[in-house]
Structure 1
Amino acid sequence: MKIIPLLALTALVAGCATVPPPPTGPRLDHSLTSRAQSDRIKYVIVHYTVSDLPRSIKTLTTADVSAHYLLTDTEQPFFYTLVDESRQSNHAGYSSWKIYNQLNSASIGIEIVNPGFKETAQGRVYAPFSQAQIDQLILLLKDIVKRHNIPMGNILGHNDIAPQRKQDPGPMFPWKQLADAGLIPWPEASRVAARVPGFQEQLPDVLWFQRKLAEHGYAVPQNGELDQATRNVISVFQTKYRPSLYDGTPDAETAALLDVLTTPLPVIPAAVSAPVTAPAAGVPAE
């Protein structure tokens, strides 16, 4: 008779041992979601490293600067993934584009191994990028754009977002190839050519250039003066859209390029067809 209570007590103790402990964290319900949200990643910023591959790796993995991706300059280029896209990397620094400042928090940074430039007796000479590097870059950009729904105008150079202190990726970077791949907008050549004669006849004043550059996205003074800060921004714009001459001078071709980029094409409404009515009885249809 004493064995039965002992067995019951043993079962009770065993049952208590399987009861889960009370939760220690917050109780979360993931069944609802808000419509008003967007992806954190809104921009992609392209850089060059100004060094060879070993030094680029050391700088981007041990110093205070970083990037999400590092594209090598090997015979068959590939990407090192240094920072997960879900985390912020320190690649943009003090930066601005349109309504955004400090773009580290809203962008993906891509560094390309490239020596940058060297000063010579004939002036500053920039190093080219290999076609293999550009091919790999376009593949990655297409993937990022698709996953994060990046708008066409939001793939930028470091010099676009920091024109007073940065030159990369420089005038040798082939932005037109990115445009041909459908990644960035590009001024239509025929529209630019049609505007050049008018701007040659009467060049807009400096304030017009400053306003157009700001409308495009650049942080630029709005004082109507051709100061060094304004020339720096014009030069950066020229390195992208007219790399044959990027001296920072506001000329007719630069004005035409700016005007086309900031003036959308007119929307032509679709023609409305007249309703088709059936012919009256006994009347042949036309």
Structure 2
Amino acid sequence: MKPILYNKFRSIKSYNSRIRFLVFHYTAGNFSNSLSTLTGPNVSAHYLIPDMTDQSYLEAGYREQEVFNLVDEQHRAWHAGVSAWGSRTSLNDTAIGVEIVNLASFKDGVFTFPPYHPAQIEAIETLALNILGRYPDIAPTQVLGHSDISIGRKSDPGPRFPWHALYLKGVGAWFDETTQQTFQDQYTQTAMPERAELLRLFKTYGYDVCGAVNDQGFTQLVRAFQLHFRPERYDGVMDVQTAANLAALVSKYFA
């Protein structure tokens, strides 16, 4: 048999990449523990962004901000778990996962969300723009947090994650302030949409609403949205501002 001709003829239009999503996480542990977990038998991610002030990072011999590629992008990393967005489930199959070292914690029913180091934020921006430039099928509404795709199970990357600042640099989605204000004025003067309409808006944007059949599930859905798009308050209570943020996003990206 003659050698396979790998480069003689190449399809340049009739194919695409499996990558559709970029998902951010926090590790809820220091660098040493995060690295051990993410290179172990149960959990992995494509990238790990350490905190350069983490003592275990310094003890490992690092002094500057690094980004570690733990799994090749063409392989499936195990970071999303049970997950859904839009018409897709099991997002490990179609997502690049980025873990960020952050000591977020949950104790006695209370979440603690430490801020991200400025050098981490710069690394997140650089990495995200690089990935988005190479995978044009990742739409702005498909740059997500773990909490967006695993409602009620996850809270990462948390309310301290700089979603709006990243949007201003070209990473991810955000609503237009003018449109948001129009909806907020409308809802204040009349009334917020009924729950059925809110669920339709959530589903249109991409959220999995299957678990929101009761009050608890709806609260978890609202909280997941607020962690991303209303981080100053994420109690899961649907109010005029949250509803207006949601409506403005749908108006912008799914008109």
Q: Which category describes the TM-score, using the shorter chain as reference length?
A: 0.7 to 0.9
**Match status 1:108 vs 2:108:** no
Equivalent residue number for residue 240 of structure 1: 228
Match of 1:71 in 2: 49
Q: CA RMSD in A?
A: 2.3
Distance 1:265 1:92, change over 3 A: closer
Bigger radius of gyration, 1 or 2? 1
Structure 2 match to 1:145: 132
Contact in 1 for aligned 2:211/2:217 (Cα 8 Å): no
The 1:266/1:114 distance shift into structure 2, 3 A limit, reads: closer
Q: Is structure 2 residue 14 aligned with structure 1 residue 36?
A: yes
Residues 192 and 54 of structure 1, relative CA distance in 2, 3 Å threshold: same
After superposition, the C-alpha distances for 1:76-126 in whole angstroms (9 at most, x for unaligned) are 3211111011111111111111011111111111000001124369x4321
3-state DSSP of counterpart to 1:232: helix
Contact persistence 1:97–1:218 (CA under 8 A):
yes
Change beyond 3 A, Cα 1:171–1:210: same
Aligned residues of 2:48 and 2:99 also touching (Cα < 8 A): yes
Number of residues paired by the alignment?
Answer: 243
1:52 aligned residue: 30
Moved more, 56-65 or 191-200: 191-200
Q: CA deviation at 1:188?
A: 1.3
* C-alpha displacement of 1:127: 1.4
Any stretches of 5+ residues in structure 2 without a counterpart? 54-63
Question: What letter corresponds to residue 177 of structure 1 in structure 2?
Answer: A
Query: 1:227 deviation in Å?
Result: 2.0
C-alpha distance in 2 between matches for 1:207 and 1:152:
25
Question: Structure 1 residues 253, 28: CA separation in 2 closer, same or farther (over 3 Å shift)?
Answer: closer
Aligned-partner Cα distance in 2 for 1:236–1:47: 14
Deviates further, 78-87 or 195-204: 195-204
- CA change 1:32–1:186 in 2 (3 A) is closer
* Match of residue 135, structure 1, among 122, 139, 164: 122
Q: Percent identity?
A: 32
> Residue in 1 aligned with 2:150?
162
* Contact 1:210/1:222 (8 A) holds in 2: no
Cα distance in 2 for partners of 1:265, 1:53 equals 37
Aligned mate of 2:198, from 188, 199, 209: 209
Shift of 1:133: 0.3
| Cα pair distance change 1:185/1:260, threshold 3 Å | same
Map Cα deviations across residues 41-68 of structure 1 (whole Å, 9 max, x no partner).
1111100001000000111112310001
Q: Which runs of structure 2 are paired with 1:270-285 in the superposition (5 Å)?
A: none
* Residue 184 (str. 1) matches residue 172 (str. 2): yes
CA shift at 1:26, angstroms? 7.4
- CA separation in 1, counterparts of 2:254 and 2:201? 18
Q: Give TM-score scaled by structure 2 length.
A: 0.87
Question: Residues 74-93 of structure 1 correspond to what in structure 2 (within 5 A)?
Answer: 74-75=52-53, 76-93=64-81
Amino acid at match of 2:122: D
Taking a change above 3 Å as real, the CA distance of residues 173 and 29 of structure 1, as seen in their structure-2 partners, is closer
TM-score normalized with structure 1 length: 0.78
Would the aligned equivalents of 1:206 and 1:226 in 2 still touch at CA under 8 Å? Answer: no
CA contact (8 A) 1:207 1:222 kept: no
- Runs of 5+ consecutive residues of structure 1 not aligned to the other structure: 1-21, 268-286
Q: Is the 8 A contact 1:209 1:250 kept in 2?
A: no
Deviation at residue 31 of structure 1 after TM alignment: 2.1
Match of 1:220 in 2: 209
